[in-house]
Amino acid sequence: MTYGCIASMKTTPGSRDEVVAILLGAAEGLRAAGCHAYIVGLADEDDVTIRVTEVWRSKEHHDAALQLPEARAAIAKAMPLLTGDFIKQELAVAGGLGL
């Protein structure tokens, strides 16, 4: 079944736009790695929270994509701008609009 992941992360104050740019820049090439959807959202309740929603062909495709050089570089660039406050929910995607 298709794999989904919803993640939330907090940035250091003033860093959210930079982290969003890093995440969106890393999105190039995800389709070829098995990604069906990669959505970066900004929380309304504060100016430090980012939410990322992903849909992948499988969990294995997701995990393999995290090992790509571009993904590893983006993670290394973003990590100093994050507080370490992460929440991740995994799910089996049954379907939906656009999938």
Q: pLDDT tens digit string along 33-78?
A: 999 999 999 999 999 999 999 999 999 999 999 999 999 999 999 9
Note the pLDDT of residue 26.
87
Question: Is the pLDDT score of 79 beyond 90?
Answer: yes
* 44 lies in some domain: yes
The structural domain count of the chain equals 1
Note the pLDDT of residue 29.
85
By residue range, what is the domain housing residue 62? 2-93
* 56 lies in some domain: yes
d(CA 92, CA 69): 27
* 47 lies in some domain: yes
56 with 36: CB under 8 angstroms?
Answer: yes
CA distances from 78 to 26, 50, 88, 92, 99 (A): 11, 12, 17, 27, 29
Tell whether pTM > 0.75: yes
